[in-house]
Structure 1
Amino acid sequence: MDATSWARDLRRRLTDRREWSRRRVVGESLLAVVLALLTVWSELVEDHGWPRAVAATLGVVVLLLVRRALPATALIAAAVLAGLADSGAVLVLAVAGWSAGRRIAGVLRALLAFAASLVLFVGLAAWAGHQSSTFIVVLNTLFFLVLTVVPGLASRYWTQRRTLLQTLQQRNAQLLRERQMIAGQARMRERQRIAQDMHDSLGHQLALIAVQTGALEVDRTLTGQQREAVGVLRQASVAAMHELREVVGILRDGTPQDEHSGSRGVTGIPALVDAATAAGMRVSLESTGEERPLAPAADHAGYRVVQEGLTNAAKHAPGAPITVGLHYEPDSLLVEVANGTVPLGRRVAEAGRSHPEPVSGGQGLTGLRERARLIGGMVFTGPAEGGGFRLAAVIPYDSAEGREAGAAQRAALGEATIADATDDFRRQTGPWAPGEGGAVIDPLDPREEFKDIMGTKKSSGCAIGCAAGLLIMLGLGILALFGVVQLVDELDKGMIEPSVYESVRIGDSEQQVRQKLPSGRSIITSDVRGKIPAEPAGASCLVLLSTDTSRGLDTDTVYRFCFTDGKLSEKREFHVKS
């Protein structure tokens, strides 16, 4: 890749709007401001001057801007900047380590980037501070591991875990879709088999009934009343054949395959009432309210309610007056079929005859209740006022206009209608698959799917992750222990008790005095040499710190022992601010 292409790709990654949402811009701005202020403050406190403070601050801001597009480069540059700046810009290491851990592709590349950053940080920190002792190197290494490597590992683990969860969720959703497809195909095959059996058996019998009744209708030996009764039977058989074709079509592919299927809705109820009247039933139709359009399932349900009500009335209350009501309410359609009591004379006449028991499957009302539940409605059955039986169904319009009108009326009247929009029956409906009558499968716990996806690799992956974490923690523990031991050793080489200082007298031999005192070659005494007066000319001095902290933690008590011609020529005590 040439320089032009590289620059163009870098510009694209820096200005990608998907990487810079409004929330991220605000967060990055606040982070840049906070780190810039901390850098300026730390540089000025250390008396490094404004030029160095401004340069360090600009470096921090630039690294924060490019750390997403160039994670490895930003990490190495942050290590260089933090190594050169004694106390400023070190916090940018944690931010760069977090970004590099999750954004550097490949384990080897990430390892090389962090290793190079560690070497640069430790080397430049020792060079800038003019201190290359083992303790300083170990301390800076431990500092880098805690401040940079730990955030990088945490970020990489968090990113991998989130990616794994997203992959598992996608896999889980794909498995569920495949199971739905398989279950749907199995259900469709079963429905097609049932439809074929119904067509072959019931269709044949209904066709024979229609042919036979058609022949009887033109028989001249029948009286007019008999011919009229035969005509009603023929029309009923033809209607049954049309309904059978409609049911077969719905079972096969979810769509009716009969040209008369449109009359099986609420608009076909008047024809159903006329057919019942022609068969000798006393039926009247009442309609109130303004007609509203219904969904296909709701429209068909209204027709079935009236059909079931007329059938039950003909079987169980022959001769009784029947009232079919269609009441268009603001938010739902109320369909009811109510029959009165059987006349006394009809009951006596029927009692004197021997009739076979009417054929009944006992599932009519149960099927109506299930059909109404699926469309969010209700079915009521019970005694009617003044005797008889009443079958009523509340069928929602399921339209925005109906819901608004119903809410307005309820607000005006201060009462709720039967089919309220917040009723439990409405919440029982679900997003069924096209052409299906219900949910394909039951919802499963995603955690169980995750267990199946992970399989036996879960335990091995967990073991590898735990082993890696233990190794990292063990390494950090060893480094921390080594650092503590080195710190104690540095303190022993650079500090003495006040009583030891008092026991030394001027004029004592240098050899005797040095035997009582530590070597003084410690990092804790290197900073205080520049804060005390200069050494006497021609003298060799030893600078040590006192263990006495009575003057406060911000004040160090410094002892200086100067030797001339093999004897102690001077010992002085200084108090300097740390």
Structure 2
Amino acid sequence: MHVKPVASALHWVAASGRRLTESWAGSPRAIDVLTALGCFALMALDLPGLAAADNSLSGPLAAVVLAAGCLGLLVRRRVPWVSYLTALLFIGWLHELTLIQFALYSVGRYRGRRAGILATVGYVGFALVVFAVPGWPEPRIETLSSFLSLVVPIGVLASAVGIAAYRHDLVRELDTRRAESAVLQAVQQERTSVARDVHDFVGRELTLLTVRSEVLSMRSRETAYAKDFEELADTARRAHLVLNEIIVQRGERAATPGVEGLAALAEESGRAGSPVRLALDPDVHGLSPLRQAAVYRVVQECLTNAAKHARGETIEVSIAADGPQLRIAVSNGLAERNGTRAPVSAGSGTASMSERVRSLGGSLTATRTEGSYEVVATLPKG
């Protein structure tokens, strides 16, 4: 008997089912279905009383009617007024107050404060009219007290909880938008930094090319190659002008350092309380200036993150040329907070590092385990 294949298949089926269950259980549609089922379960407790109070509804027929009323909760996100109007119908016809709680919550949750207050006022007014009609299950002498102690609090509480959840959703969405904006801004700043580095490095080479071509043109003035060298110098000069027009410099800014600046970064991190063990492959010094700038930016951002989240922990930095690829690995342990507050962080550092690495055709991954954090970036040596 093939035990291993069967066990592997069962494990795969169980894992797939678990992932499917987790993804479905967290979806809005699943929450709406569970809400409708929960409402129906609560109203089903009133089936004996409904059958006794209204002879037109038998037990099975009453269950069908209540189930149909709960179906409106399936669309409570898009049209919460459907379940609200159905709940008012149930109040007038069956004296049923369960569905209105879910309906008022849904209106307040998905339509906001004004709609929630309007729905609550409408519900209270409608219920007051219904209480004035003979036939309500409560004794007539307790009608007003029952109205003030039961009907009004039910509506106000359900609507208030929905409005509070609506405000919480707005705050959470605002925080998400701010985080996305911070990431986009960091990516844009990194793109600008890359462009400026391109301007600095390429512009310097074009300047050298222009000067060298002009020198060669003067030396070969009496030969047939003088005109060619003059055209080469003019071409390099025009390319430099186009580069200046495309990449606009804003203020004085030094180019991003290369790998020669890593030692200063490590020393600065050590003074800040996070010692660095730097392992640098000598071949890295032969990389192009743009790739060296990418190495510097990745290590700089990783050391900054470690200073925020792992102060006092030793940081391992490894930069090696592995065949045609360059590998940058930075790892550190995670310090225990012991009740201290988390540092302020926009969470945009990883996005800026990734943008720098992707601009050179590489990739970056950040992995957090139980006790450590590691960033690995690979890019072609070029």
TM-score (norm 1): 0.33
Which structure is higher in RCO with an 8 Å CA cutoff and minimum separation 6? Answer: 2
Larger Rg: 1
TM-score (norm 2): 0.46
- Relative to its length, the structure with more helix (as a share) is 2
